[in-house]
Amino acid sequence: MSDGEQAGMTLSGAAIIVQALVDQGVEVIFGYPGGAVLPIYDALFAQNNIRHILVRQEGGAVHAAEGYARSTGRPGVVLVTSGPGATNAVTGLTDALMDSIPVVCLTGQVATHMIGNDAFQEADTVGITRPCTKHNYLVKDTNDLGRVMHEAFYVATHGRPGPVVVDLPKDVCIDQGHYEKPDLDNIQHKTYHPRVDGEEDRIAEAVELIARARQPIFYTGGGLINSGPEACAALVEFVNMTGHPITSTLMGLGAFPASDHKFLGMLGMHGTYEANNAMHDCDVMICLAARFDDRVTGRLDAFSPNSKKIHVDIDPSSINKNVRADLAIVGDVGRVLQRMIECWRERGHQPDEAASKAWWTRIQQWRSRDCLSFEQGNEIIKPQYAIQRLYELTKDRDVYITTEVGQHQMWAAQFYRFEEPNRWMTSGGLGTMGYGLPAAVGVQIGHPESLVIDIAGEASFMMNIQELSTARQQGLPLKIFILNNQWMGMVRQWQELLHGSRYSESYVDALPDFIKLADSFGATGLVVDKPGDLDDAIKTMIDTDGLVIVDVRVAKEENCFPMVPSGAAHNEMILSQDQANGERPSVTDDGLALV
């Protein structure tokens, strides 16, 4: 499409859309055709620049685009039809909004003269998606298409990333219009100019605060991954310069290498004892691109009561939303960290050895509780053990992990240790069951040679199971590692701990035979139920070409600990089943009301 580089040409709307995607460097889109988008599919048919991945349900397309975006750092692109195509995409869009994932979703729409008439497959897509996108557009004139398409990519990827919907009426795609490739390096948006450089005096003040701290902790989030590998490298450099401990949210895992002794593991509801206690007792908290989510803070009025809080975020609305920051810095976390490093050097700061030693001694005491310990017998596979072995047997490979949502997700976060960013794809904010399989499809499309594993629960896996067909069609060698306990494990755990063991509707009856299921999709199915056979099953999974489903039969009623119960503070954790059975902080009605 070399003619696309000529300035100004007249094309059909559909051709403009495809040309704009090509000009954006888009190589792959995830979608599902339908009446309203047929002109666009026709334009796709006539070219070879963009690969289209046909999913089996539009929700899967958005999750696949998210997986692609999170593992490659490039925006994910989705193409779906009007009406049900768009409404099916809503969950994925909300997921991408909550986790700040750059996605551009093109939706078909009925012709402009039919909008508002309750036409076949008409839905008010911009109305429905307004609260679940960063921004959305309804294009009513073919001449606006080029501008809107490039704006959509700009908005999705600049500032705090997020999903953008472009709603495309069929006549707009058919009509002829003017298209000119813009200078993509110098796109100036009329109104949207997110601040990327932090205020210098605040950065200097933050560095002073960190230098004088006696019990500091870095609390890092998904914004580091979004900011890019340079930001993560700057984080490692700065943490190493200061020697301070660091904890991460679920979304931020991999930004700092888990094998480094300064890493205390994940914090929050199922975070480690050492991370949560260090957060509770710290005197200076350095929050980098995290957002004080309720899963992280626990009871707000007891959250880290004695600390000065530094909060760096690119989105001003994240600051002072849940927790008041003593020192707020609005900017791109990578750039701010770079300035912090320079400032620390210029001022010749050195870590306070005595204070650091005392602080690390306390942390070591918490660490020695070994809060993630579990007992693996000879008979039944503990889910923690399954993840631990999976980690040990895959850690030296080029591996990407996705998860569904629930207990298995938390165990994966606890026991799979990430050394690099962009290797871990999980639905954090929205908590979307059914995320992991389509996300793995997107990851594998972006990294065809890598080992891509969906750590799943059997209940979540069933939610988007149709995407096995996508994986098969594309010949994707995904490995689906199901921790099968026949329960919606996290629901069951909450019912046990908070609702008097009344297991209302949380047992998953009538599960499929996963071996036969695998067989019917041309995949390899494995089942394992003895701890002694686990390693062989994992090795077989890795060594088997193509799609593999492993049904790991795990302990049915294992609970995920540690746990900060609803409405409790960080230092009121339940560490074990014994403690859960015996005396523990009672959950108030207010706590019960929390999700």
Partner 1 sequence: MTDLSELQRKHTIAVLVDNEPGVLARVIGLFSGRGYNIESLTVAEVDVANNRSRITVVTSGNEMIIEQIKAQLDRLVPVHSVVDLTEEGPSVERELALIKVVGAAEERIESLRIADIFRARAVDSTLESFVFEVTGNSGKINAFIDLMKPLGLTEISRTGVVAIARGETSM
Annotated catalytic residues are 58, 120-121, 170, 490
Q: Are 110 and 116 in contact (CB under 8 A)?
A: no
Least distance between partner 1 and beta carbon 58 (Å): 22
Q: How far is the C-alpha of 350 from the C-alpha of 342, rounded, in Å?
A: 13
Q: How far is the CB of 191 from partner 1 (least distance, A)?
A: 5
Report the C-alpha gap between 540 and 544 in whole angstroms. Answer: 6
CB 382 within 8 A of CB 554: yes
Tell which residue, 571, 560, 568, 413, has the closest CA to residue 496.
Answer: 560
Three-state DSSP state, 77: strand
Q: Quick check: 484 and 554 in contact, CB under 8 A? A: yes
Q: For residues 301 and 449, which CB has a smaller minimum distance to partner 1 in the complex?
A: 301
Tokens of 234: 């700057």
| CB nearer to partner 1: pick between 140 and 539 | 140
Place of tokens 């920051």: 325
Q: How many CA atoms lie within 13 A of 198 on its CB side?
A: 30
176-179/163-169 β-pairing: unpaired
Please state the closest distance from residue 80 (CB atom) to partner 1, in A: 20
Residues that bind partner 1 (CB under 8 A): 126-127, 130-131, 134-135, 138, 155, 159-160, 189-192, 315-317, 319-321, 324
Instruction: For partner 1, give the closer residue by CB, 165 or 456.
Output: 165
Residue 214: which of 301, 281, 297 has the closest Cα? Answer: 281
CB of 316 to partner 1, least distance (A): 5
Q: How far is the CB of 113 from partner 1 (least distance, A)?
A: 16
Q: State the minimum distance, in angstroms, from the CB of residue 202 to partner 1.
A: 17
| CB of residue 325 to partner 1, shortest distance in Å | 11
CB atoms within 10 A of CB 544: 15
Structure tokens at 109: 């729409």
What is the closest distance, in whole angstroms, from the C-beta atom of residue 288 to partner 1 in the complex? 19
126/515 with CB nearer partner 1: 126
- Helical H runs in 416-475? 436-446, 458-461, 467-474
Q: Phi, psi at residue 115, to the nearest 5°?
A: -60, 130
Q: Among residues 134 and 382, whose Cβ is nearest to partner 1?
A: 134
Query: For 452, how many CA atoms within 13 A lie in the half-sphere containing its CB?
Result: 28
Q: How far is the CB of 322 from partner 1 (least distance, A)?
A: 9
DSSP-based three-state secondary structure for 574: strand
Give the residue with the Cβ less far from partner 1, 314 or 518: 314
Helix (H) or strand (E) segment spanning residue 481 = strand 479-484
Segments of 128-268 assigned E as strands:
135-138, 163-169, 176-179, 216-220, 246-248, 263-266
Q: How far apart are CA 427 and CA 405, in angstroms?
A: 7
Question: Closer CB to partner 1, residue 320 or residue 350?
Answer: 320
Spatial CA neighbour of 220 closest among 264, 260, 186:
264
Residue whose CB is less far from partner 1, 195 or 395: 195
105-142 burial by CB neighbour count: b if 16+ within 10 A, else e? bbbbbbbbeeeeeebebbbebbebbeebbbbbbbbeeb
How many Å apart are CA 485 and CA 480, to the nearest integer?
A: 15
What is the nearest approach in angstroms of partner 1 to the Cβ of residue 497? Answer: 29
Phi, psi of 52 (to 5 degrees): -105, 130
- Of 150 and 408, nearer to partner 1 (C-beta) is 150
CB 399 within 8 A of CB 542: no
Instruction: Give the residue from 231, 552, 249 showing the smallest Cα distance to 426.
Output: 249
Q: Which residue reads 């849940």 in tokens?
A: 322
Considering beta carbons, is residue 144 or 572 the nearer one to partner 1?
A: 144
- What are 506's two structure tokens? 């949380």
What is the distance between the alpha carbons of residues 458 and 481, in angstroms, rounded to a whole number?
Answer: 9
Tokens representing 570? 């960080």
